[in-house]
Structure 1
């Protein structure tokens, strides 16, 4: 596989990909036109913050499977376009958390004690001891905007230094804040009014862009702002003015709305604002961690394994994966069989979980079921964009769970249909790695879902199974296995035949010419339905 790296990452990540036999090509400082050219045959793309991965890039990359962001922020990646094109976007949120938190703490002390300003004067030969009176953090209130991984690590460190912790984050629970000794507030204004220091740890989104402007900064009067998250969250002109006018005592900024920052940026020219060139993740350990984490996720994507930090695809906790893994392919297969047995327009897909699996996070299994349903329809689909494809085509998707399971520990049932009719296929696992189809549209069977299958509905009368076997034998189609279910004696029966070879339309026609046959369907589990006939 070809992996294109357009922003520098640690060698450890590149070496890990090469050890797996992948071709890693480095191409830095590309223009957009050059990127569109080199991405055309890439299977993976690794970026940091320097590469803009636009819709145009995704549409030019027909073979692209995954974009790996070696870091946290993904505002330079069009995730909507990635999803539309079935490309996974994954970041490395854990690798530089500690480094970013430590930089935030360092910047807090630097601005509170005017360390860079004092250093500069002393280096110029001026002993300016009386010019600087710092602020202690002990017994001060730290306002934390955004209480994700980095925000929580900052809280641990500065909380241990005697600061009272106040958190504003609409997406965090009060219980989690309590666990870290923080008070959760309902609005940003309260956080600003009560804080002495404000640290920011949110991503840059439409919701957070310029979230903190002049009016908000005025509520922090006499305090300090530390932003090591993303540029653009704090209005830069408003921050420069607030510090220059003495509304705020100081600020420390590691990130800017435009990077590299231009010389006319107002933050560079205010004495009590400390600036660094986006150094939050710039430690040797952090760079190696994000590089290897990104590489591992690319390898997982290439191996059709869950990508743990996928942002636009169903992901699963590493500890939960072994419990759902056997059902991922089973759901895909059940979806393929169900849609190929269904003759009409698909208007809904239902995925039902029974038994032990109902306790698990099954988003990835449901996405796999949708992929199975849509593949035989020859739609360009994978587990990334299957939910989006369903939405775009107006197909209702429902998921249900129940602990009741009957004779099996776990079952997955995929139903496709519309207002007029539907088809259900139910599967389970025997001994963890032995998948079985245990019912088709209510008929109990015990079929091995593999390769070529023939599903026949017929009258439950003597000789039908032998007749079908003879027709297949005459056509030199070998039967690998046969499974039969029926409603009542003499009623309707359903048989599933595992075959070593595909079945031609002529063979299907011969079978269907018998008056005892209601209908037959040839099922290919390679993604294409090659034929069906109905009486």
Structure 2
């Protein structure tokens, strides 16, 4: 398998991939048609911020499994297109958290104490001691817009230096904020109370231009620090606010367009400290994100869970061994249910009973959907299965119960179309031995494998022998058989046959010609 790396990453990440047995091709600064050609046979793609991973890239890469972003921001990756093509997008949010937080703190101090400006003048031979009267952080209020990983780390560091912390983040709970010593407030309140305002949000349609002229006026004074993403803060408005004295100063590490142009207004204001996107530029951070990204690419190519997947269900590494066997059971149950219903599906319900109900089963549910759509949809996987359900207008529900009548753990997949429905239940025997234990209310013990013939018939003598004879006459070998009936003798019964070969349509018709046979379905797994 081939992994294409189009932006430079630390050698430790490249070595990790090679040691795992993958072919690594580096093609730095490749773009346009050259990028499309380079990625055409790639199974994995690793980028930083320099490569634009567009829908055209996914169209050109039919074998692509994962795009790994060696860093946090993914605004250069079309995640929606990735999802449509079943490609995982994963980033490395932990590797450079400390580096980004430390740079944010350093930028705040640099702005408050005019360190770069004083440095330049002293280098030019000026002893300008009386020109710079700085501000201390002790006793001041830090406003944090976006209390994610980096925002939390900054809050902890500056909180320990005596700052009061207020934060705006609609996606974090009050309890977590209190653990960090932060007071959750509304956006305007965060701006108005902050002596130092630090921004830590991704760049999205919601956050682009989040802080502009009106918001800076709400601050009224103090310092703004942006080491998150360019475009969140209106650069022209910030330059004007500092120039006019609305703010005391600012510190900016990221820009809407990078490399920054010489006429960017932030560069001409003396009280604005600027650096060329250095937040993650430490040797430790670069090695950490490279190794983390490589590990996630390896996991995806091995069909293991990807810890930092942004468009696919992920699971904690320690929990994966407990749910892994049920991923296959759910997928198999979904495949059988969809093929037996044999109708347009309007609803999918995945139910968990027993010990499995205590686990994080998002990945298991996605795998069940994959199974449901596999007979119906080309190139479906756990990444795009939830999106396919949404696009088709299929309702997906998930239920859990710690109680299970007969099994330690049980997974049920039900597909519905109006009043018709089909339920398949699976479990594990003897550790990791999968079994289908219920089909449409019939209780049995079937091995889900290969070609399965599911026959419904009236429970009369000779039916099973008749089926065996027809299959034998047509050179179809029976590898296993599992029989069940729902009522008393003479009622309806269901039998599952594991076959070594598929059966032709004319053989199925011969079976259906017998009045004792109600229906015959051939399931392919």
Fold in common (TM above 0.5): yes
Contact 2:112 2:135 in 1 (8 A): yes
Contact 1:459 1:518 in 2 (8 A): yes
Residue of structure 2 equivalent to 1:338: 337
Residue of structure 1 equivalent to 2:197: 198
Once the 2 structures are TM-superposed, how far is the Cα of residue 470 of structure 1 from its aligned partner?
Answer: 2.4
Contact 1:226 1:251 in 2 (8 A): yes
CA distance in 2 between partners of 1:347 and 1:162 (Å) = 57
Residue of structure 1 equivalent to 2:118: 118
User: 5+ unaligned residues in a row in structure 1: which ranges?
Assistant: 526-535
Once the 2 structures are TM-superposed, how far is the Cα of residue 378 of structure 1 from its aligned partner?
Answer: 4.2
Residue of structure 2 equivalent to 1:6: 6
Residue of structure 1 equivalent to 2:178: 178
Once the 2 structures are TM-superposed, how far is the Cα of residue 358 of structure 1 from its aligned partner?
Answer: 1.7
Deviates more, 1:369-378 or 1:11-20: 369-378
CA displacement, residues 516-535 of structure 1 (integer Å, 9 cap, x when unaligned): 1111111110xxxxxxxxxx
CA displacement, residues 260-295 of structure 1 (integer Å, 9 cap, x when unaligned): 000000111111111000000001111111111111
CA distance in 1 between partners of 2:225 and 2:340 (Å) = 60
Residue of structure 2 equivalent to 1:531: none
How many residue pairs get matched? 524
Once the 2 structures are TM-superposed, how far is the Cα of residue 319 of structure 1 from its aligned partner?
Answer: 2.4
Find the residue that maps to 2:374 and give its secondary structure.
helix
TM-score by length of 2: 0.98
Matched ranges for 1:49-448 at <5 A: 49-185=49-185, 187-448=186-447
TM-score by length of 1: 0.96
Residue of structure 2 equivalent to 1:529: none
Assess, with a 3 A threshold, how the Cα gap between structure 1 residues 393 and 222 changes in structure 2: closer, same or farther: closer
Contact 2:460 2:490 in 1 (8 A): yes
Contact 1:244 1:270 in 2 (8 A): yes
Find the residue that maps to 1:155 and give its secondary structure.
helix
Once the 2 structures are TM-superposed, how far is the Cα of residue 147 of structure 1 from its aligned partner?
Answer: 0.3
Contact 1:326 1:432 in 2 (8 A): no
What's the Cα RMSD here?
Answer: 1.2
CA displacement, residues 287-323 of structure 1 (integer Å, 9 cap, x when unaligned): 1111111111111111111111111111112222222
CA distance in 1 between partners of 2:438 and 2:206 (Å) = 48
Matched ranges for 1:20-39 at <5 A: 20-39=20-39
CA distance in 2 between partners of 1:173 and 1:389 (Å) = 31
Find the residue that maps to 2:353 and give its secondary structure.
strand
Residue of structure 2 equivalent to 1:505: 505
CA distance in 1 between partners of 2:221 and 2:340 (Å) = 71
Contact 2:31 2:51 in 1 (8 A): no
Once the 2 structures are TM-superposed, how far is the Cα of residue 139 of structure 1 from its aligned partner?
Answer: 0.7
CA distance in 1 between partners of 2:125 and 2:151 (Å) = 39
User: 5+ unaligned residues in a row in structure 2: which ranges?
Assistant: none
Once the 2 structures are TM-superposed, how far is the Cα of residue 104 of structure 1 from its aligned partner?
Answer: 0.5
CA displacement, residues 192-230 of structure 1 (integer Å, 9 cap, x when unaligned): 111110111110111111111111112222301111000
Matched ranges for 1:485-496 at <5 A: 485-487=484-486, 488-496=488-496
CA distance in 1 between partners of 2:213 and 2:325 (Å) = 55
Residue of structure 2 equivalent to 1:462: 461
